[in-house]
């Protein structure tokens, strides 16, 4: 078969191949960088980091924490799920958990036939987050929450406090922290129920501020994800002995932010895969 290209076609093809090559090099470099951060961090939990459907390595850390505390109920709630294609609990659905999603965006996936996942599109605020938890528990006919993930790019501290002060205490809590502020700096934005992140450093709360809050409600900080320094993992103190290998100094758990993300990870993600997991 013979192909005849014009000069412009050749130029476009060359540019495309160069871009593909550059993207492969970039992703290879990022993967090596992530691997180095993971293996060199003083917290042994970081070494379990791995991506399934999370933004980077959060899934692997979650599964190691779950393994250690031997969860049986397997029920989660996630606040801030994006379009449903990349978050902290989709991998739990793949492992036969049940749960509820709440967020302000439409989903890209169809879950009309799902018997294990509830979704509600809603703007999450202090005055409705507890009712959403009650809604989720009623849906699953349970009183136990094994895991809550909350990432809303803004009022997170105040929403977490509202949950904990209402005596909802999941075994595991995954939260976003503002990695710019190293411990012992305490920082949190002012509460604004209409807050929308502008892509700058005014969002959320520092790790120290979140740690102080969780400690006051009997939680232990066990990990920050080493790939991006964006998510912190807390477990209830009743499981503290299962994490005796975790450093006790917050500075040895903290991970600085890294904003270099993968352009792709493995094969292209298919909505058919996601819907099979959600509706299966």
- In sequence order, what are the beta bridge partners of 148? 77, 173
pLDDT in tens, 10-23: 445 445 445 555 66
Residue 263: per-residue pLDDT: 62
Residue 29: per-residue pLDDT: 77
Please report, rounded to a whole number, the percentage of residues in the chain having pLDDT higher than 90.
76
Q: Is pLDDT of 279 > 50?
A: yes
Residue 35: per-residue pLDDT: 81
Question: Which has more pLDDT, 21 or 78?
Answer: 78
Q: Is pLDDT of 262 > 70?
A: no
Domains along the chain? 41-279 (3.40.50.150)
pLDDT in tens, 216-248: 999 999 999 999 999 999 999 999 999 999 999
Q: Crossing angle, helix 129-140 and helix 156-165, to 10 degrees? A: 60
Residue 1: per-residue pLDDT: 35
Residue 238: per-residue pLDDT: 97
What's the rounded mean pLDDT across residues 56-85?
A: 95
């Amino acid at each position: 078969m013979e192909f005849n290209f014009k000069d412009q076609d050749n130029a476009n093809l060359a540019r495309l191949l160069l871009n593909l090559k550059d993207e492969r090099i970039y992703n290879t470099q990022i993967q090596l960088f992530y691997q180095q951060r993971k293996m060199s961090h003083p917290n042994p939990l970081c070494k379990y980091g791995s991506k399934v459907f999370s933004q980077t390595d959060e899934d692997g850390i979650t599964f190691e924490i779950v393994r250690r505390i031997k969860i049986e109920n397997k029920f989660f709630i996630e606040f801030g799920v994006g379009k449903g294609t990349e978050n902290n609990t989709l991998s739990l659905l793949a492992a036969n958990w049940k749960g509820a999603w709440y967020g302000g965006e439409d989903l890209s996936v169809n879950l009309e036939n799902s018997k294990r996942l509830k979704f509600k599109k809603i703007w999450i605020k202090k005055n409705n987050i507890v009712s959403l938890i009650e809604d989720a528990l009623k849906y699953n006919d349970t009183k136990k929450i094994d895991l809550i993930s909350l990432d809303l790019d803004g009022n997170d501290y105040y929403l977490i406090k509202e949950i904990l002060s209402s005596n909802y205490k999941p075994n595991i809590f995954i939260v976003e922290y503002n990695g710019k502020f190293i411990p012992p700096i305490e920082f949190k934005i002012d509460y604004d129920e209409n807050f929308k992140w502008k892509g700058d450093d005014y969002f959320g709360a520092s790790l120290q501020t979140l740690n102080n809050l969780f400690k006051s409600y009997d939680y232990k900080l066990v990990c920050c994800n080493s790939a991006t320094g964006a998510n912190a993992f807390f477990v209830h103190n009743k499981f503290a002995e299962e994490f005796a290998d975790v450093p006790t100094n917050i500075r040895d758990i903290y991970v600085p932010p890294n904003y270099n993300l993968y352009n792709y990870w493995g094969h292209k993600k298919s909505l058919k895969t996601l819907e099979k997991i959600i509706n299966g």
